[in-house]
Amino acid sequence: MTALHIRDARIASASFRPRTEAVDTLVLHHTALDLAASLKVLREGAVSVHFVLAEDGTAYKLLEDGEVGWHAGLSMWRGRPDVNARSIGIEIVNLDGNLHAYPRAQVAALIELCTLILRRHPGIGPRNVVGHSDIAPRRKVDPGRRFPWQRLAEAGIGRWPGGAEPRPVGSEAEVQVLLEACGYPPPHAFGRDERRGGNIWVPDAARPPPGVTGVERVTTADILRAFQLHYQPRARAGRATAHTMGLLHCLAAP
Ligand SMILES: [Zn+2]
């Protein structure tokens, strides 16, 4: 029995571009909007994505895989910025994946959709199945702590650390090294480019370039929170425990 139904919902805006790099990443989001509003924004607005997945398991296809969607924004994974350029994005309809569980039919369809995408793009290894919060820590918190990462990993989509042994809690620098080995970005700052629109990296948070406002620093604690949102959703976020260290070591291993 298949849970997935794919419907054509071709984008109506010019908010996308042709792809020039190979696809090697799959980015999962929650929409924070209902289905109708999500489709409107993503088909007609300044952002876009490949698929919108409704709660009943219907997948709306907006972009071809060979087109770059504008879903990740300012982002970095495994040391490389601009995740949009080499990713497929799925926006999963949920008003807040930190509060609301993902319905069974939607998860079943998501597993089918991800499986299809992974089959089409063998370059997307398990490490490169990520949440928006993983690639844009502090700035984004989707798809949220209720997202069934373990269930997906059991279906061959992404990773889940099984049997991680507790480890001594390391220094902040040690935690950061492990986070980066998992793929997370280094501490950084970003701000809003008022002239061109959108967020940009700010190399020196104390002296942002002219026209850049709302500068935010992203610290190791913020990046650790993103890690815990994904792998330790019941933890007190931003603080490493012996269990966190075990998970970090497990996932940082090549
Ligand atoms: Zn998102």
Return the closest-CA partner of residue 159 out of 23, 250, 224, 82.
250
171-224 pLDDT tens trace:
999 999 999 999 999 999 999 999 999 999 999 999 999 999 999 999 999 999
Phi/psi of residue 251, each to 5°?
-80, -20
Domains of the chain by start residue, with CATH: 5-154 (3.40.80.10), 172-252 (no CATH)
Cα 140 to ligand 1 centroid, rounded to whole Å: 7
Q: Give 167 Cα–ligand 1 centroid separation in angstroms.
A: 32
**Catalytic (active site) residue 172:** no
pLDDT tens digit sequence for 119-136 = 999 999 999 999 999 999
Read off the pLDDT of residues 85-124 as tens digits, 9 standing for 90 and up.
999 999 999 999 999 999 999 999 999 999 999 999 999 9
pLDDT in tens, 139-153: 999 999 999 999 999
The residue from 44, 91, 112, 154 that is catalytic is: 91
- Give the mean pLDDT of 156-161: 97
Residues 81, 141, 249: CA angle, nearest 5 degrees: 70
pLDDT of residue 162: 86
- Is pLDDT above 80 for 1? no
In the chain, where does DSSP find H-type helix? 35-44, 104-120, 132-135, 149-154, 172-182, 220-231, 242-252
Q: How far is the CA of 163 from the CAs of 75, 150, 166, 234, 251, in angstroms?
A: 30, 13, 9, 17, 11
pLDDT at 163 over 70: yes
Give the confidence band of 235 by pLDDT, cuts at 50, 70, 90: confident
Residues 6+ positions from 42 with CB-CB distance below 8 Å: 11, 48, 49, 52, 62, 91
Can you give the pLDDT at residue 188?
98
Answer whether 0.85 is exceeded by the pTM: yes
Can you give the pLDDT at residue 63?
A: 98
pLDDT tens-digit readout, 6-48: 999 999 999 999 999 999 999 999 999 999 999 999 999 999 9
How far apart, in whole angstroms, are the C-alpha atoms of residue 115 and residue 191? 36
Say what the pLDDT of residue 215 is. 97
pLDDT score at 152: 98
Q: Which two tokens stand for residue 125?
A: 């290894």
Residue 5: pLDDT band with limits 50, 70, 90 = very high
Ligand 1 center from residue 29 Cα (angstroms): 4
Q: What tokens were used for 42?
A: 């993503």
Per-chain mean pLDDT for the chain: 97
Ligand 1 mean position, distance from CA 71 (Å): 6
Tokens of 163: 């049997």
